[in-house]
Structure 1
């Protein structure tokens, strides 16, 4: 099972997230849950770097099955807003996968989500 843990600050902003494990929903190379979760997470990190113009602290296991991202402690307010919107979109996309394939992916969003 893929487990995603989202860590937020006291305002509800995402500070970091970790994704670990394997979906095991199909044979290697044909695992749609793994492919979807990987595409969403890596695409979101690439979008943060391209759109917000910041380098994220990212760790991943060479053989797969582990991804961790830590946001910089201080960001300009406009940059922080962009980063949060992109990462909230990532969480929504992962939750959509979880809604259909909950036996293969679990999202633990500590702090629950920002108030509008």
Structure 2
């Protein structure tokens, strides 16, 4: 199962973590894993390119783990863009979870 944890402070995303494997299909055909990976890495890449922000990114060497910490020292425009892009990511992950709840959980702390 994929576990998504979103960390917030004052209703703002400060970090998020994805861990585990969906195991919803054979290796290379796991649509839930592919969807979660595309959404999460797409959002990270969008923030890196569009906001020109350095994120603190930690990945597992075998896959199945991603931790991203957001910087707290940003101008308001960059912070708003970054928050919007990551909120969009969370909405997309929730959409996946609504159809495949046996393979993905999302919690906020």
With the shorter chain as reference, the TM-score category is over 0.9
Q: Equivalent residue for 1:3?
A: 3
Q: Does 1:101 align with 2:104?
A: no
Quote the RMSD (CA, aligned, Å): 0.6
What's the TM-score once normalised by structure 2's chain length? 0.98
How far apart are residue 73 of structure 1 and its match? 2.2
Q: TM-score, normalised by structure 1?
A: 0.92
Q: May I ask how many residue pairs the two structures share in their alignment?
A: 109
- Structure 1 Cα separation of the partners of residues 43 and 91 of structure 2: 11
Any unmatched runs of 5+ in structure 2? Answer: none
Q: Which runs of 5+ in 1 are unaligned?
A: 111-116
Cα deviations by residue, 1:65-113 (Å, 9 ceiling, x for unpaired): 1000000121111000000000000000000000000000001023xxx
SS at 2:16 equivalent: strand
Counterpart Cα distance in 1 of 2:54 and 2:43:
13
Aligned to 1:55: 54
